[in-house]
Structure 1
Amino acid sequence: MGRATIKSGTINLLNTIIGAGILAMPYGLKSNGLLFGCLLIIWSSLTSSFGLYLQNKVAKYTQQQGAVSYFSLAQLTYPQLSVVFDSAISIKCFGVGVSYLVVIGDLMPKIMESLNVKDESLFMERNFWITVFMVVLVVPLSYLKKLDSLKYTSVVALFSVVYLICLVIEHYVAHDIPTETLEIDWFGPKSIKSTLSSFPIFVFAYTCHQNMFAIINELKPSETDGSQTRQSNLIIRNAICTAAASYLVVGVIGYLTFGNSVNGNIITMYPKNSISSLIGRLCIVIMVSLSFPLQCHPCRGSVNHVIHFITQGVVSAKVRNQLQREGYTSLTSDIESLNSLASDSIQDESFISTTPMEGAQDTDGHDPIIVPLTSKKFYIITTVIVLSSYLVAITVTSLEHVLAFVGSTGSTSISFILPGLFGFLLIKPLGDATKLNALEKFSKYGGLALAIWGGIVMIVCLSATIFLGATH
């Protein structure tokens, strides 16, 4: 049932990674010094890519490729906490989606101001532009049922990123930005306070883990591209390397252009009346508009899991004991009754093949844990997410501190803590082997280290938010 390819998976994952946060990279280097800031960008790319790698490995070792999700893995580890995990994911994705709408409402009036539109004009109203972009772009794309369906819009969004990169390079090469004294800190770090306050910029720059399982589920083995595991590893490598290169280019060149006078949004530093700068701001609006559905997709899946948990409960103790005796995928008894709702739904109405995919099986032919999502529930949940996001966006003008708390907990959980714990708890010898080989040991105990790192990141980012007023 897979439809995705390495190319489409890379595009969607890359678009999930790169958002408006790329504009804060020069400020991140200013706060840490050029060399140390670049090291933070690279270190953050490595830790995030390892989390994605562990997600891919766990999907393979539990043999749930085609039907893996945070919910299904939680049933094998901490079933009672599955509702907490999915709640964190849904809140995090919802918050990021709302922030995209707020960005639209903030930037479009400024773009109109650059075009000399009068203050009393309807085109200067933030809520007007939020409504327009919701109706024209956000809502239609949010109802697409497969993540792979967003690959073309992701390409458009990535072209906007390319334009922003070219804009930064062009102004640096042209030397057309007047600077009285250009102060640059070449090494760093500058101070503990400045590093901690800017730390979330780097850590959360690569958050895309909420869509990794959906990408894995929509892949299928092929003779040319290899197994799902190989394809997923290539997607991770391509997306992370491209994102890291983009961050380094914008960060370094933007910082070298403005030095220590750079602020948290480099696009505002360029001349307002410049056509190229105007197009750059419009590119940001387009980029965040097309990125909203990439947040809606995992949010919808997690909300569905939470609803399922509340109405159906967790896997019974009998099944968990069976899993311990026979392995992760011997789900032939009570799991079938757990999935009976899906079968009933198929008879009554069309069944949405999202994450996890209906009818997917592991290599032994056992049924994995599937949370049913009917057409009716799909449209109801999507409508609630879209409508709620719109109402919050037109009501609240600033979500910086709320998002900082949500990001410190939700982003850290899905990027580091959960992949690390799943890797540590679920990776075991494959086949007839009785002991872990070197790669399995690295993945297993590296997962434990990643989970610990996630705990440290959460404490640091929450502290920076509370005491230093940091946002991300």
Structure 2
Amino acid sequence: MGRTRTRLLKRRQLPKAQTWILLQGLGFASARSGAAVLANTLLGGSGLLGVPHAFATAGYGLGLALLVVFGTCSALGCHLLQCSARRIGEAPCSFYSVSNAVAPRWTWLIDGAVMVKCFGVATSYLIIVGDLGPPALEMLGLQVHRWEVICLGFCVAASLACLRNLSGLKFTAVLSLAIVIWTTVLIALYVIRPSKDFNPCGHSSDEDLPCNGADFEPIVTDHPLALGKAQE
């Protein structure tokens, strides 16, 4: 079996990294799968919910500047991790293998930091699922409790986390990106209002925002740096 696999690898002329992975009996994700998962992480994560509040607090000018700064820092961190992985030249490459090559005495600290960070992110996602799941299911005629939705989300996430590589997540990532794009299109349509069907206050209403006299916070419009910031 090993000789047959080696012959197939020689015929396909795969890159050395992929060849080593296959010889070890491991799997690897395609570039498209990785791009879909990364795009889902950037666009479909909890940060998407926090950006509007951040812009309302900082304004469009400062908000965009901070977004560029933190995006650059994130890209630099990913680049450094990729360079470290290539320098080590082992597969699978993880935070543990990188830290073990750079600072063997502090591998426990790196693993602990990654564990705490991932635990916090996973917990925040479950909180969001628990907050938004029951109202969404109620519109479909399903009455569920918050803890039931959280348990369901945990079971789904735990099952996906046991997959062998990122290729299994490409379908959920593409679905999430499609939902984000669809939501963006809907928001744009409600802003442009091409017809009465896209009136936020109702199809048969000619009322302008805010609907039904709802409370709202005015924003700054006369200062370029504080544009879009909520007035105090």
Q: What TM-score do you get using the length of structure 1 for normalisation?
A: 0.36
What is the CA-CA distance between 1:78 and the residue it aligns to?
Answer: 1.7
Alpha carbons of structure 1 residues 131 and 62: separation in structure 2 relative to 1, 3 Å:
closer
Please state if 1:103 is matched with 2:128: yes
What is the CA-CA distance between 1:81 and the residue it aligns to?
Answer: 0.9
Please state if 1:159 is matched with 2:178: yes
Deviation string 1:26-75 (CA, Å, 9 cap, x unpaired) is 221121121221111122111111111111122223333x3322212222
Q: Which amino acid aligns with 2:219?
A: E
* Kept in 1: contact 2:88–2:101 (CA 8 A): no
Counterpart Cα distance in 2 of 1:79 and 1:181: 53
Alignment map for 1:286-305 (pairs within 5 Å): none
Alpha carbons of structure 1 residues 130 and 6: separation in structure 2 relative to 1, 3 Å:
same
What is the CA-CA distance between 1:20 and the residue it aligns to?
Answer: 2.5
Q: Which amino acid aligns with 1:140?
A: S
Q: Secondary structure at the match of 2:93?
A: coil
Alpha carbons of structure 1 residues 112 and 56: separation in structure 2 relative to 1, 3 Å:
closer
Counterpart Cα distance in 1 of 2:164 and 2:111: 19
* Kept in 1: contact 2:29–2:165 (CA 8 A): no
Deviation string 1:363-384 (CA, Å, 9 cap, x unpaired) is xxxxxxxxxxxxxxxxxxxxxx
Please state if 1:128 is matched with 2:154: no
* Kept in 1: contact 2:33–2:166 (CA 8 A): no
Alignment map for 1:39-438 (pairs within 5 Å): 39-64=65-90, 66-112=91-137, 123-135=143-155, 137-174=156-193, 176-177=199-200, 178-179=209-210, 182-185=218-221, 187-188=224-225, 260=230
Please state if 1:24 is matched with 2:44: no
Q: Secondary structure at the match of 1:144?
A: coil
Alpha carbons of structure 1 residues 63 and 142: separation in structure 2 relative to 1, 3 Å:
closer
Deviation string 1:238-261 (CA, Å, 9 cap, x unpaired) is xxxxxxxxxxxxxxxxx6xxx738
Counterpart Cα distance in 2 of 1:51 and 1:101: 26
Please state if 1:8 is matched with 2:33: yes
Task: Quote the residue 2:3 is aligned against.
Answer: none
Q: Which amino acid aligns with 2:113?
A: A
Alpha carbons of structure 1 residues 131 and 69: separation in structure 2 relative to 1, 3 Å:
closer
Alpha carbons of structure 1 residues 48 and 134: separation in structure 2 relative to 1, 3 Å:
closer
Q: Secondary structure at the match of 1:128?
A: helix
What is the CA-CA distance between 1:147 and the residue it aligns to?
Answer: 2.0
Please state if 1:36 is matched with 2:73: no
What is the CA-CA distance between 1:114 and the residue it aligns to?
Answer: 5.1
Counterpart Cα distance in 2 of 1:260 and 1:172: 19
Alpha carbons of structure 1 residues 176 and 42: separation in structure 2 relative to 1, 3 Å:
farther
Counterpart Cα distance in 1 of 2:97 and 2:132: 40
Alpha carbons of structure 1 residues 113 and 8: separation in structure 2 relative to 1, 3 Å:
closer
What is the CA-CA distance between 1:132 and the residue it aligns to?
Answer: 3.3
Counterpart Cα distance in 2 of 1:159 and 1:127: 27
* Kept in 2: contact 1:12–1:154 (CA 8 A): yes
Alpha carbons of structure 1 residues 49 and 183: separation in structure 2 relative to 1, 3 Å:
same
Task: Quote the residue 1:330 is aligned against.
Answer: none
Counterpart Cα distance in 2 of 1:27 and 1:133: 25
Identity of matched residues, %: 27
What is the CA-CA distance between 1:182 and the residue it aligns to?
Answer: 4.8
Alpha carbons of structure 1 residues 59 and 142: separation in structure 2 relative to 1, 3 Å:
closer
Q: What TM-score do you get using the length of structure 2 for normalisation?
A: 0.69
Q: Point out where structure 2 has 5 or more consecutive residues left out of the alignment.
A: 1-21, 201-208, 211-215
What is the CA-CA distance between 1:176 and the residue it aligns to?
Answer: 3.7
Alpha carbons of structure 1 residues 124 and 130: separation in structure 2 relative to 1, 3 Å:
same
